[in-house]
C-alpha cells in the first residue's frame, strides 16, 4: 500500500509540476500580450497625432493656395487691362 501511495504522490507531484509550467507559460504569454497591447495603443496615439498635424498642414496650405489664387487672378486682370485685352 505504501508503494502505491508513493506512486500516487509522485504522479501528483509530476502533474503539479506540469501545471506550474503551464501557468508560467500562460503568465509569460499574458505579459507579452499586455506589452503588445500597450505598444499598439502608443502607436495608435502617435498615428492620431500625425494625422492631426497633417490635417492642420493641409488646411494651412489650402488657405495659402487660395490667397495666391486670388492674388494671381487680380494680377492677370491687371495685365489684361494694361494689355488692352
* pLDDT of 85 over the 80 cut: no
Confidence of residue 66 (pLDDT cuts 50, 70, 90): very high
Lowest mean pLDDT of 4-13, 44-53, 55-64, 70-79, name the range.
Answer: 4-13
* pLDDT of 50 over the 80 cut: yes
Q: What angle do CA 50, 55, 59 make, to 5 degrees?
A: 150
pLDDT score for 52: 98
What's the CA dihedral at 20, 24, 26, 32 to 10 degrees?
180
How far apart, in whole angstroms, are the C-alpha atoms of residue 24 and residue 16?
Answer: 12
pLDDT score for 4: 81
Amino acid at each position: 500500500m505504501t508503494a502505491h501511495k508513493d506512486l500516487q504522490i509522485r504522479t501528483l507531484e509530476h502533474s503539479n509540476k506540469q501545471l506550474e509550467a503551464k501557468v508560467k507559460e500562460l503568465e509569460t504569454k499574458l505579459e507579452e500580450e499586455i506589452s503588445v497591447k500597450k505598444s499598439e495603443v502608443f502607436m495608435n496615439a502617435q498615428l492620431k497625432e500625425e494625422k492631426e498635424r497633417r490635417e492642420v498642414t493641409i488646411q494651412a496650405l489650402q488657405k495659402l493656395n487660395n490667397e495666391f489664387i486670388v492674388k494671381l487672378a487680380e494680377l492677370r486682370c491687371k495685365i489684361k487691362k494694361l494689355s488692352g485685352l
